Structure 1
């Protein structure tokens, strides 16, 4: 495979999309998370439907990107996958095991295979612990004594993510933001997981550092055959790093497809609107695509619209959209869309 690197503003696809395997590593069905809240002067009980019935799967060694506006439920979905949040409804199947209701002790054996990289490299590391202690923590908690000892394994991990192994005894405040995120990546790799949820791992970093971290994740994916659920706002990064993309809106999955389908021939009106807002730096001075401007604000998850949740901002909405919620149906090879009147053809 030819070596390619990500550069800021680049939209080139790094590799061909691999065929889907028969048995996914992770399968999510009808996943939901409702947060009870009180509203109004009398404390009326209500539910925030942060995630409200999400379906997707991830193959071994594959990267699924989750994109959408802030508040659409991407991070909540990722945290439920690694069991940092308990789901309200739905099913999570990992390696043909239903882990939906696993308790903490049952999850301990799965921590070898399921890990997470957090968004903020500043708050996700304990400032009172050395880098060595932070990276060694998963090994010690799980009672693992690797060949050569814990210190040797930690130093190997630091070197793997591009840090100096001699900095084992330094503290997080002595590192830059990009270096701290590499420490978080080393911690996630300590147990040799099969799937990592990366919750906007580069959004808090400088653009040039983002490119380095993304290229590091790609190299690690190839070396260790890692699968990723990659949560991000930056659509250029998602296009480069992810083989498949899921688009979320107000707690629902509205479209799933491979990289070409989502970026070149999106079927859901919301996906088209989302992509139309991305500036194309390769066409400066030329007439680019016309931006689709959505009217109105995103509805509240406390009281989502009936039927299709996007209908209040959709230019194609018809009476049926308010009456019947569109199911996520397959419209092409691997492409699924939840829309009664999907778009066709390439993105204009």
Structure 2
């Protein structure tokens, strides 16, 4: 991998004002499952997101990680109001937008933008690059100084493309270039918050670092807050200042980047970090934690702690009481964990070989 294709050193974001930009409290999204005849009766609900709570400060980057199906992308779409929440609240700069109407959302839409996962399906193949990037400005009736065309060409340069690409169509670009076009479209309205839904997972590994470095530079230079959704732990560690870990629709741990990666408290976070590959083959200090069993169905999640069916520390209490997301100990302020029997943070990454392997318990 060339120098241009490697991640730069993690850098601090633009200084934050300490002002809360986004406040999420008990956010819930249940998708109804219809059955019976003639399929007009609800027989259940997929609990995709169930009681998610977190804040995002101005200029901050928050990483949202977890295995596939845990509700990360659904959470991102709820934050942008592409999906209607079932419960809970979302406040943007103190204004409750949970169930805001289209008219009420109009002045906020320009300040919250999204970068989608698939650069091939998120761009209209019938439109030129210029039309795609200028679209948000046209919809919001924004006429920048010098005209929209000049602004589009400026945005193309900002994301590392040539202004000459203005009249080309998406099929003429590679995946990485298409994602840069998506980034330019997200920047068109000068947003304060960008929801990046796995923005590099569909890209070739050789160009993932280029896009991540681009986003990091924009976040630092423009002071944009990010909610960075991903399953690649190394990229999240590089990009995000704080990290939230999701499992089966719930946040099980949230902390500052260094605290979470070096002193994880929740068993699931421990297992997730142990599964990340290490570039140093001689580093044997971290034992691989192998979880047995499958992730329970969100149609019928386990009672109490949702991770208990795969947790090696599960006890009777875990089945009867749902652990609240609380700060445990005073060493890491803001380090919240939802576990009745959290790991010893000082011994992170040094799990004894005598601990029994992760097991599956029956409901």
Matched-pair contact (CA < 8 Å) for 1:307–1:325: yes
Aligned to 1:219: 217
Aligned to 1:325: 322
Aligned to 1:23: 19
Q: Equivalences for 1:159-174 in 2 at 5 Å?
A: 159-174=157-172
Structure 1 unaligned residues grouped into runs of 5+:
none
Kindly tell me: are residues 293 and 115 of structure 1, through their superposed partners in 2, closer, same or farther at Cα, counting changes over 3 Å?
same
Kindly tell me: are residues 272 and 84 of structure 1, through their superposed partners in 2, closer, same or farther at Cα, counting changes over 3 Å?
same
Deviations 1:73-97 (A, max 9, x none): 0000000001100100001011111
Alpha-carbon offset, residue 287 of structure 1: 2.7
Aligned to 1:271: 269
Query: Structure 1 residue 312 and structure 2 residue 312: aligned?
Result: no
Aligned to 1:334: 334
Structure 2 unaligned residues grouped into runs of 5+:
351-363
Q: Secondary structure at the match of 1:28?
A: strand
Alpha-carbon offset, residue 284 of structure 1: 1.6
Kindly tell me: are residues 206 and 328 of structure 1, through their superposed partners in 2, closer, same or farther at Cα, counting changes over 3 Å?
same
Aligned to 1:347: 349
TM norm structure 1: 0.94
Query: Structure 1 residue 300 and structure 2 residue 297: aligned?
Result: yes
Q: Equivalences for 1:1-80 in 2 at 5 Å?
A: 14-15=10-11, 22-38=18-34, 45-80=43-78
Kindly tell me: are residues 262 and 60 of structure 1, through their superposed partners in 2, closer, same or farther at Cα, counting changes over 3 Å?
same
Alpha-carbon offset, residue 289 of structure 1: 1.6
Aligned to 2:359: none
Alpha-carbon offset, residue 262 of structure 1: 1.0
Matched-pair contact (CA < 8 Å) for 1:33–1:89: yes
Aligned to 1:113: 111
Deviations 1:199-230 (A, max 9, x none): 00000111121000000001111121000000
Kindly tell me: are residues 6 and 46 of structure 1, through their superposed partners in 2, closer, same or farther at Cα, counting changes over 3 Å?
farther
Runs of 4+ that moved beyond 6 A? 17-20
Q: Secondary structure at the match of 2:20?
A: coil
Matched-pair contact (CA < 8 Å) for 1:6–1:215: no
Matched-pair contact (CA < 8 Å) for 1:87–1:100: yes
Deviations 1:273-326 (A, max 9, x none): 000001110x22453521101111100000000000000000000000000000
Deviations 1:98-154 (A, max 9, x none): 111111122111122100000000000000000000000000000111111110011
Alpha-carbon offset, residue 251 of structure 1: 0.2
TM norm structure 2: 0.90
Distance 1:17 1:219 in 2: 9
Q: Secondary structure at the match of 1:109?
A: helix
Deviations 1:233-278 (A, max 9, x none): 1100000000000000000000000111111000000000000001
Distance 1:198 1:6 in 2: 22
Point out the more displaced range, 122-131 or 14-23: 14-23
Point out the more displaced range, 287-296 or 160-169: 287-296
Point out the more displaced range, 34-43 or 211-220: 34-43
Deviations 1:156-205 (A, max 9, x none): 11111010001100000001100000000000000000000000000011
Query: Structure 1 residue 103 and structure 2 residue 101: aligned?
Result: yes
Alpha-carbon offset, residue 21 of structure 1: 5.8
